[in-house]
Amino acid sequence: MKRRRAVVFLAALVPVAVVIAGSKAQGQNAGSGAAAGDSAIAENKAPNACQRTLLTNFDPDKGDFFGHDVPIWSLGDGSAIMFRSGMTIDADGAPNAYSPNNTGLDDLSNAGGPGHWDGIVTDHGEPFVQGPDDPFPGFYISQTALVDWSKERTDPARYVDASKIPYVVLPGELSRQFGARLGDFAVVVNIRRGVAANAIFADIGTLGEGSIALADALGIWSNAREGGTHGGILYLVYPGSGDRRPRTLDEINSETGRIFQQWGGMEQLNSCQAGLEPMRPQFVDRNFH
């Protein structure tokens, strides 16, 4: 058992003032302004009083520290889904995520085990190992649910690289319930730090999980073995907004920025948060997993 060192931050429900990162800088502090050279973004439409419908209360099944029964809200006409949770760190899709001797970015146990591998590519149950021409020879080929169908399944580039692309992870059953598809876009906010980042839905797993690159953009400790945070993270997902294929970082920023601003931007998001109960105390745990 790992010894925990925890600091408590009382994450009160206050208006979020952040800048959504553009293609030049993923993840910016509140009030820092858009990065120079970003593509033009449509003006915010006037925010409306938020119509918020509770879809369900979902248990992330990550223990008491992470919280149980997370409310999942449908906003307006269902074009956006919102929930608040913590974030565990996903390394899947990174070519150096897993190795036979467990020296990868993440612990090999998180990819499954003999007879039931689910985080790495296999052939008749046996994991594929990268060859001399691959990015990390000797490492396993780590996979994500969102793939580039134009590439072979043994090509590490077929999958979404967690170390480079900011992505969110959602439970399969829950995502189907509110109509989210792999490749849809999302905005994720670190409320305590006042930082937001654009993201893509790229993997199936647990609620409150994001890629290494997303954690980096939000100022969260991005170590896939020990990093993450138990609370203070707001997720805004746009069901049906993508086209079920991986995107570059520039495309994620451009498309998500456009969608978010047309939806109403940060003013609309603050309106949709109004009246919710304050978030539970946030534990920043250096030995999170």
Q: Given pLDDT bands bounded at 50, 70 and 90, which one contains residue 7?
A: very low
> With contact defined as beta carbons under 8 Å apart, do 190 and 220 qualify?
yes
What are the extents of the domains in the chain?
A: 6-91+162-285, 94-142
Give me the pLDDT at residue 24, please: 40
Q: Given pLDDT bands bounded at 50, 70 and 90, which one contains residue 253?
A: very high
Q: What percent of the chain has pLDDT over 90?
A: 68
Question: 279: which DSSP letter?
Answer: P
144 Cβ contact list (under 8 Å, min separation 6): 92, 93, 159, 160, 162, 167, 202, 203
Whether the predicted pLDDT of 142 surpasses 50: yes
Whether the predicted pLDDT of 44 surpasses 60: no
Q: Given pLDDT bands bounded at 50, 70 and 90, which one contains residue 59?
A: confident
Apex CA 286: angle with CA 210 and CA 15, to 5°? Answer: 55
Whether the predicted pLDDT of 289 surpasses 80: no
Q: What is the mean pLDDT of residues 214-235?
A: 95
Instruction: Name which residue leads in pLDDT, 277 or 152.
Output: 152
Distance CA 156, CA 225 (A): 21
Instruction: Name which residue leads in pLDDT, 94 or 48.
Output: 94
Instruction: Name which residue leads in pLDDT, 185 or 23.
Output: 185
Give me the pLDDT at residue 61, please: 72
Distance CA 289, CA 285 (A): 9
Highest mean pLDDT among 20-29, 65-74, 170-179: 170-179
**Beta pairing partners, 117:** 112
**Beta pairing partners, 8:** 283
Instruction: Name which residue leads in pLDDT, 66 or 195.
Output: 195
Cα torsion through 184, 11, 105, 82, rounded to 10: -10
Q: Which of 27-31, 156-160, 206-210 shows the lowest per-residue confidence on average (mean pLDDT)?
A: 27-31
Whether the predicted pLDDT of 175 surpasses 70: yes
Highest mean pLDDT among 6-10, 35-39, 214-218: 214-218
Q: Exposed, middle or buried, 154 (CB in 10 Å: 0-12/13-18/19+)?
A: middle
Q: Per residue, what are the HEC states of 14-49? A: CCCCCEECECCECCECCCCCCCCCCCCCCCCCCCCC
> With contact defined as beta carbons under 8 Å apart, do 245 and 148 qualify?
yes
Q: What is the mean pLDDT of residues 36-62?
A: 63
Whether the predicted pLDDT of 98 surpasses 80: yes
What is the radius of gyration, based on Cα positions, of the chain? 19
Tens digits of residue pLDDT in 106-118: 999 999 999 899 8
Give me the pLDDT at residue 274, please: 82
Q: Given pLDDT bands bounded at 50, 70 and 90, which one contains residue 36?
A: very low
